[in-house]
A and B are shown apart, each in its own frame.
Chain A
Amino acid sequence: MTKNSYPEISIQTADFSLADEVALLEQDNAIDGAVVTFTGRVRNQNEGKNVTSLTLEHYPGMTEKSLEKIICTAKERWNIGRVKVIHRIGELHIGDQIVFVGVTSKHRQDAFAANEFIMDYLKVQAPFWKKEASKDGINWLDAKSSDESKAAKW
C-alpha cells in the first residue's frame, strides 16, 4: 500500500477543504470502511468574552515531532489505516477552521477512538499557543485542566 507516503501532518496558514481531505483519505483505499473526521473552528465566545480573532503561534520542528509521536501511539493502540492532522497557524477569525483530524479504519470503532485520542493529546502536548483578541484586549489563553483530564483518561 501507499500508506507510508501519505503526508500525515501539515502545519499551515492556509485554510483547508474538508471535502478534499476526505477524498485523499479515501483515494485508492478500498480496505477501510470507516472515515472519521473532526474539524475545530474559532468560536465567537470564550469564557464569557466576545472573541474577535485568534492568533496561533507554534514551535516549528517540535510541533511536527510531537504530532508524529501521537499518531504513532494511535497506530499502536488501534487498527487504523490513514491519518491526517492539519493545524493552522497565524491570525484566524470567527468561524475559521483551526484544526482537522481524519482517521480511516476497517470498522468504525478504531477510527472513532483514534480520532478522539489524537485530538485529546494534540490539545495537551503539541506546542501551539492561542492569543485571543476581544473587546477587553489581547490575551494569551490559559490551558484548561479539563483538557489534561480528557487526555489522561486514555
Chain B
Amino acid sequence: MIKVVFFAALREQLNCSQLSLSSENLATVADIKEQLASKGENWQQVFASNTLLSAVNHDMVNSDQAIKSGDEVAFFPPVTGG
C-alpha cells in the first residue's frame, strides 16, 4: 500500500487529508497523479495544476520519481511559510 497525504488548499479542494492506494500498477509519482485525477472533477482540476508539488517520504521529488509499497507520497501547493 501507498499512503497519500494532501495539505493546505489541496486538502480543502479535495476534502481529503489522506488515503491509501494499492501499489499495483503504480511505478512513479506521475502514475499516482493520473490515477487520482480520474476520481472526479475536483481531482482532475487539482492534478492538472502545474504548480502542484510532490514529496516522497518527506523529500521533494519530480513526477518521474519511482515509488514502492510503504512509501508516503504527499501533494501540496507551493509553500508560503516564514
Contacts and interface: CB of A to CB of B under 8 A. Distances in A.
Interface residues of A, number: 27
A72 to B, nearest CB: 13
A40 B7 CA distance: 23
A122 B81 contact: yes
Contact of A98 (B51, B59, B82): B82
A128 B79 CA distance: 6
A contact patch SS = mixed
Interface in A9-58: 40, 56-58
Contacts of A56: 81
B82 A129 contact: no
Interface of A: 40, 56-59, 61-62, 65-66, 87, 98-99, 119, 122-131, 140-143
Interface of B: 5, 7-9, 12, 51, 55, 58-60, 74, 76-82
Q: Top 7 A-B pairs ranked by shortest CB distance? A: A128-B81, A143-B78, A129-B8, A62-B58, A140-B9, A123-B82, A141-B80
